[in-house]
Amino acid sequence: MDYYLQILLIAGIFITLTLSLNLINGFCGQFSLGHAGFWGVGAYASAVYSVYYALPLPAAINMMIAIIVGFIAAALSGILIGVPCLRLKGDYLAIATLGFGEILRIIITNTEKIGGPRGFINIPHWANIIWVYAIAAVAVVFMINLKRSSFGRAIISIREDEIASENMGVNLFKYKLFSFTIGAGIAGIAGALFAHTQQFLHPSNFNFMWSVIILVMVILGGQGSVTGSVVGAIVLTIVPELLRFAGGNIAAWRMTIFPVLLILLMLARPQGIFGPHELGGSKLRSKA
């Protein structure tokens, strides 16, 4: 039972995480390969609060504070990285964010106070599956409403055509930075949830591999599709686990099946399962 609960929990955290990257990558079209870094900053910052500076308050209120700490820390690192990097485009932005993500991880690995390379232990168990899915639900509503507002339209227009978007009066830098910062912040919230459900953090949780996995979840669902992100996160959390049960060779080879599926998906449907659209069709799509 615990095992299933753990999978559900991780799936829920990945829903929030995937949505947060979808804002940057799917909505705004900015290709980021360092998202796990923001997730890590949020996780570690919130854990620093709960381990070293926790106030004598009920766990639920402390968890709220931890979430806010995770959000602010990750959003600030988003600004720090976004201001210099968002001038770059496409491949170059991807490379720069990859570099920053790795730098964040190396800093974490070299900070003894948060466990360094051994990992950060003794984090209180403040969050549970209800927290995880409540936050995921808030994230879904936030993203859908954003998409249907003028603000969201401006962000999406940047993905479509930067020059035309600017020509429509959209301040590119402002909206890119907004997406990047809020996306990072929401990833930080997912980090706080991760820290306070797992009670243990290790730098290897937040390396480049994980940035790729989150990205794959976004792509699988469809860039710009909120419901797609939810589906992508759930499918890619559960499928590898199911393969584990398949036994024998398949279980041993499941980690190679995952990238093969990714490649086949790209070959067959590069825009992801839903493309930019939503499950439920036009009702959710463009009506304001």
Nearest distance in Å: CB 5, other proteins: 27
Do 234 and 279 touch, CB atoms closer than 8 A?
no
| 196/277 with CB nearer other proteins | 277
Question: Given the rule CB under 8 A, which residues bind other proteins?
Answer: 31, 84-85, 87-88, 90-92, 94-96, 99-100, 102-103, 106-107, 109-110, 117, 142, 145-146, 148-154, 156-157, 160-161, 163-172, 208-209, 212, 215-216, 219, 252-253, 255-256, 258-260, 262-263, 266-267, 270, 276, 282, 285-286, 288
| 74/93 with CB nearer other proteins | 93
Sign of CA dihedral 13, 222, 185, 187: positive
| 57/161 with CB nearer other proteins | 161
Nearest distance in Å: CB 201, other proteins: 18
Do 243 and 251 touch, CB atoms closer than 8 A?
yes
Cβ neighbours of 58 (radius 10 Å): 9
Query: What's the Cα-to-Cα distance from 89 to each of 28, 32, 146, 147, rounded to whole Å?
Result: 12, 10, 24, 23
| 200/258 with CB nearer other proteins | 258
Residues 6+ apart with CB under 8 A from 46: 66, 67, 69, 70, 73, 188, 191, 192, 195, 196
Burial of 256-271, coded b for 16+ CB within 10 Å and e otherwise, reads eeeeebbeeeeeeeee
Nearest distance in Å: CB 53, other proteins: 26
Nearest distance in Å: CB 33, other proteins: 9
Nearest distance in Å: CB 149, other proteins: 3
What is the C-alpha separation between 3 and 89, in angstroms, rounded? 42
Residues 6+ apart with CB under 8 A from 160: 29
| 60/264 with CB nearer other proteins | 264
Nearest distance in Å: CB 169, other proteins: 4
| 9/216 with CB nearer other proteins | 216
What is the C-alpha separation between 34 and 184, in angstroms, rounded? 10
